């Protein structure tokens, strides 16, 4: 049976001998060591099959014994090539397409990340752990990838990865930082949150390091939580109190006098692109001009063969939805009132109990907008708690 299958692969031919005797022909072929099969006889003669590699030897042998064989129909792959010789390119294309699909289905062409922003840095970390686009599916080891990724990226507590078709799915859980607990017993300094000129230092606990009239910078220690005993030892405690200083604040806000409302025209302008390994190739470009104002909607369609083998390219359909802005202009007087409301909200929310000692509020025009600028002189508490972190022994 195997020899017959191989004969079909290399090709075989039906040989016909008119008026031949099947018994006599069989006896002649016994010593030739040429495989033949399918021998049959009728009143017109006998016929049988022989593989193409043995055909010439068989024909020469029969002729040497006075028998004139007739070569009949060809069978096997050579016959198919002969019948469809004009369509050889078509069948060759089918073969190459099948090989291409097989190759595509054996590689990872897309890595999708869930649970974290899929940026270039994160993709580089995933690739470093053993999962990247273009690699063979058989090369991916999920357990090894998980171990490497968690060891190299302590900011994540969980990672899982699976390959479905040609798409790798990676799920991540980022480590949640432990909340800082404000312990009233922890040693701390009072430091300046912004620059200013000291007006009064009210240190309920701690060592004041500034006096009235001193200029301080952001981060500078105002009241120290470190004190020295008469014996030369150092003690740590939590500083308490407040430090009032003259500071400068600026507040800016603006309103456009020509703000409008979106009104979509109902027109949809589309472009279709072929995305291959992150590169877009336009197939059909936008058929019209959407104008100055439009929203964009993108739709990505994965391509596959029979819904099983995912191809390494996809279709990207971009739709532009034009709209116009219906003017609903704001008059300047109304704009000024709205800006004043924003200014008072800033004073109430950001300054709180601070004392405003000077203010200069101006209105400016910027194109079609009106802008409020407020420069304030304020006396406020600039002290904030900063815990003492000891890295080396004191003294």
Span 41-75, pLDDT tens digits? 777 777 888 877 778 888 888 787 777 777 777 77
Q: Is the pLDDT of residue 339 over 60?
A: yes
Confidence of residue 206 (pLDDT cuts 50, 70, 90): confident
* pLDDT class of 183 with cuts at 50, 70, 90: low
CA–CA distance, 105 with 305 (Å, rounded to integer): 10
Q: For the residues 236-250, what does the mean pLDDT come to?
A: 90
Both tokens of 334, joined, read 């109304």
Taking the model in full, what pTM does it have?
A: 0.41
Average pLDDT over residues 115-128: 81
Residue 204 has pLDDT above 90, yes or no: no
Cα–Cα distance between 30 and 168 in angstroms, integer? 62
pLDDT per residue over 256-265, tens digit each?
776 555 677 7
Q: Tell me, what's the pLDDT at 307?
A: 58
pLDDT at 101 > cutoff 80: no
Rounded CA separation 138/106 (Å): 8
**160-172 average pLDDT score:** 83
Q: How far apart are CA 156 and CA 142, in angstroms?
A: 16
Closest of 296, 238, 271, 303 to residue 104, by C-alpha:
303
What region does 79 belong to: left with phi over 0, alpha with psi -120 to 50, or beta? Answer: alpha
Q: Could you tell me which residue, 297 or 344, shows the higher pLDDT?
A: 344
Asked if pLDDT for residue 146 goes beyond 50, the answer is yes
| pLDDT range class, residue 248, cuts 50, 70, 90 | very high
Instruction: State the average pLDDT for the chain.
Output: 79
Which position has the higher pLDDT, 184 or 365? 365
**Tell me, what's the pLDDT at 395?**
43
Percent residues over pLDDT 70 in the chain = 77
**pLDDT at res. 179:** 59
* Residues 382 and 217 sit within 8 Å (Cβ to Cβ): no
Average pLDDT over residues 309-331: 71
Residue 315 has pLDDT above 60, yes or no: yes
**Percent of the chain residues topping a pLDDT of 90:** 13
Residue 197 predicted with pLDDT over 80: yes
Which one, of 379, 381, 362, 366, lies nearest residue 251 by Cα? Answer: 362
Distances in Å between the Cα of 360 and the Cα atoms of 194, 283, 372 are 21, 59, 10
What would the mean pLDDT of 96-116 be, rounded to a whole number?
A: 77
Average pLDDT of the residues in 175-180 = 69
**pLDDT band of 192, cuts 50, 70, 90:** very high
3-state secondary structure the chain: CHHHHHHHHHCEEEEEEECCCHHHHHHHHHCCCCCEEEEEEECCEEEEEEEHHHHHHHHHHHHHCCCCCEEEEEECHHHHHHHCHHHHHHHHHHHHHHHHHHHHHCECCEEEEECCCCCHHHHHHHHHCCCCCCCEHHHCCHHHHHHHHHHHCCCEEEEEEEEECCEEEEEEEECCCCCCCCCCCCCEEEEECCCEEEEEEEEEECEECCCCCCEECCCCEEEECEEECCCCCEEECECEEEEEEEEEEEEEEEEECCCEEEEECCCCEEEEEEEECCEEEEEECCCCCCCCCEEEEEEEEEEEECCCEEEEEEEEEEEEEEEEEEECCCCHHHHHHHHHHHHHHHHHHHHCCCEEEEEEEEEEEECCEEEEEEEEEEEEECEEEEECCCCCCCC
Q: What is the pLDDT of residues 342-363, one digit of tens each?
A: 898 888 888 888 899 999 999 9
Distance between first and last Cα of the chain: 96
Predicted local distance difference test score (pLDDT) of residue 8: 61
Q: Which of 37-46, 132-141, 168-177, 280-289 has the lowest mean pLDDT?
A: 280-289
Instruction: Tokens for 344, please give them.
Output: 């008072």
Lowest mean pLDDT among 97-106, 146-155, 225-234: 97-106
CA torsion 251-257-261-263 (nearest 10°) is -140
Position 392 scores a pLDDT of 43
Instruction: Look at residue 38 in the predicted model and tell me its pLDDT.
Output: 74
**Once rounded to an integer, what is the mean pLDDT over residues 5-26?**
70
CB-based burial of residue 391 (10 Å sphere; 0-12 exposed, 13-18 middle, 19+ buried)? exposed
74-89 pLDDT per residue, tens: 776 666 666 665 566 6
Query: CB-hemisphere CA count at 13 Å for 334?
Result: 7
């Amino acid at each position: 049976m195997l020899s017959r299958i191989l004969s079909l692969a290399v090709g075989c031919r039906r040989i016909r001998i008119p008026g031949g005797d099947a018994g006599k022909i069989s006896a002649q072929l016994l010593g030739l060591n040429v495989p033949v099969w399918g021998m049959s006889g009728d009143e017109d003669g006998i016929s049988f099959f022989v593989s193409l590699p043995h055909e010439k030897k068989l024909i020469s042998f029969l002729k040497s014994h006075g028998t004139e064989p007739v070569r009949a129909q060809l069978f096997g792959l050579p016959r198919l090539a002969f019948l469809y010789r004009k369509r050889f390119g078509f069948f060759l294309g089918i073969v190459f397409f099948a090989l291409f699909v097989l190759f595509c289905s054996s590689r990872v062409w897309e890595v999708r990340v869930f649970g974290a922003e899929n940026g270039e840095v994160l993709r580089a970390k995933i690739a470093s752990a053993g999962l990247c686009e273009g690699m063979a599916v058989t090369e991916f080891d999920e357990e090894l990838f998980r171990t490497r990724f968690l060891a190299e990226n302590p900011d994540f507590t969980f990672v899982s990865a699976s390959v479905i078709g040609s798409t790798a799915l990676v799920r991540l859980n980022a480590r949640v930082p432990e909340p800082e607990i404000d312990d009233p017993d922890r040693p701390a300094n009072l430091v300046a949150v912004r620059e200013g000129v000291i007006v009064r230092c009210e240190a309920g606990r701690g060592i004041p390091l500034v006096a009235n009239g001193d200029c301080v910078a952001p981060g500078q220690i105002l009241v120290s939580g470190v004190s020295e005993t008469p014996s030369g030892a150092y003690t740590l405690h939590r500083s308490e109190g407040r430090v009032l200083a003259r500071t400068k604040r600026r507040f800016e806000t603006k309103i456009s006098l020509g703000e409008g409302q979106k009104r979509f025209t109902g027109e949809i302008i589309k472009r279709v692109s072929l995305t291959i390994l992150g590169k877009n190739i336009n197939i059909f470009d936008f058929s019209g001009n959407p104008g100055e104002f439009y929203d964009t909607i993108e739709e990505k369609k994965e391509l596959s063969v029979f819904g099983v083998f995912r191809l390494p390219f996809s279709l990207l359909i971009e739709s532009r939805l034009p709209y116009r802005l219906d003017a609903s202009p704001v008059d300047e007087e109304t704009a000024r009132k709205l800006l004043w409301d924003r200014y008072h909200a800033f004073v109430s929310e950001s300054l709180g109990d601070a004392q405003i000692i000077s203010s200069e509020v101006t209105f400016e025009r910027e194109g079609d907008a009106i802008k409020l600028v407020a420069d304030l002189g304020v006396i406020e508490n600039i002290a904030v708690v900063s815990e003492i972190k000891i890295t080396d022994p004191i003294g």
